[in-house]
Structure 1
Amino acid sequence: METLLTIINRRSIRKYKPVKIEEEKINLLLKAAMYAPSAMNLKPWHFIVINSEEVIKQTVKSVPHAEMIKQSGNAILICGDSSVEKNESWLIQDCSAATQNILLAAYDLGLGSCWIAVHGMNDMVKNLKTQFNLPDEIIPFALVAFGYPDEEVKTEQRFKEEKIHYNNW
């Protein structure tokens, strides 16, 4: 039941307290990401932990809608390795699962987090590839801002029976 409550109650947090995150918690977020399901168990992901003020400033220039990482002081860039998973659709699914695990683990650890979309935005992908000197086969997928929350976002009712179909449309 705790897992279900985490899924229902986790919300995107965009305001953070200026508190350093313990290395142990960062490692637990990364561990959670690496336990995500993966097509053919290829695990084509790589992670860049961003917690340097200078790198954060540059990352916000690369991804302008990532402004909240200035306040959180922490982010993880989730990347996919196209040399490991050649099917782009599966690469996206694998990186999505890893990203979701980071978000759920952050909530469980008392942290706030926010998924910041990158994949599909060619300028931002190019910016991040340049900024982090990524090899050609490494594709930036998403950023996750995380830190101690400085806001409370209420859970809304999202369960909609009209979205459910059994056996046909």
Structure 2
Amino acid sequence: MEILKEILNRRSIRKFQDKQVEDDVIKKILHAAMQAPSANNEQPWEFIVVKNKDTLLKMTEIHPYAKMLKEAAIAIIVCGDLKKEISKGRWVQDCSAATENLLLEVVHQGLGAVWVGVHPNKEREEPLKRLFNLPDNIIPLCIIPIGYPAEEKEYENRFKEERIHFEKW
């Protein structure tokens, strides 16, 4: 396994080819997401897979920074289920870990994606909840537009030795 390769090559992709993502690939992406660690192993995540172009377009009207959904093959909305919370307030961390796993598997599958934040912005959460008929206990954390990349982004070295502290500040 060369997980470092996926980590270093993961970039925010906002332009996509007009090409569908196969169902078996979507399942692999979701499998990776659900392997994430979570507090008390509560696994509070739920996922909405959106393929319908009309729905993707409606989502661009809800979120001002999600215009790339017009070109995306699919979107996955990562949600937290408050009823599954054992460790109160940890659902955001747990679902964020699932999202990162998802993004790394996207790269591994030769796809591109970008993390579009929703929570804690109520002006984005509430319209999404209405659009997808989400119950009160389900909170959308983020939208991940996914597709075959129509852009390439170069590696950016973000390693900063000065941000590493041993034993004390």
Relative to the length of structure 2, the TM-score reads 0.96
After superposition, where does 1:101-120 map in structure 2 within 5 Å? 101-120=101-120
8 Å CA contact 2:128–2:140 kept in 1: the answer is yes
Q: Which amino acid aligns with 2:82?
A: S
Structure 1: distance between partners of 2:71 and 2:61: 15
Structure 1: distance between partners of 2:147 and 2:48: 16
- Deviation string, structure 1 residues 10-48 (Cα, Å, up to 9, x no partner): 111011000011111111111111111111011011000
Equivalent position of 1:30 in the other structure = 30
Listed as ranges, the gaps of 5+ residues in structure 2 are none
SS in structure 2 of the partner of residue 64 of structure 1: coil
Structure 1: distance between partners of 2:116 and 2:86: 24
- Deviation string, structure 1 residues 57-104 (Cα, Å, up to 9, x no partner): 111112121111110131000000011115453100110011001100
SS in structure 2 of the partner of residue 166 of structure 1: coil
8 Å CA contact 1:56–1:73 kept in 2: the answer is no
Equivalent position of 1:164 in the other structure = 164
Runs of 4+ in 1 over 4 A off after TM superposition: none
Residue 124 and residue 88 in structure 1: after superposition, are their counterparts in 2 closer, same or farther (change >3 A)? farther
8 Å CA contact 1:33–1:101 kept in 2: the answer is yes
Structure 1: distance between partners of 2:54 and 2:116: 19
Equivalent position of 2:61 in the other structure = 61
Identity of aligned residues (%): 46
1:14 aligns to 2:22 (yes or no): no
Q: CA RMSD in A?
A: 1.1
Structure 1: distance between partners of 2:86 and 2:126: 19
Relative to the length of structure 1, the TM-score reads 0.96
Q: Size of the alignment, in residue pairs?
A: 169
Equivalent position of 1:132 in the other structure = 132
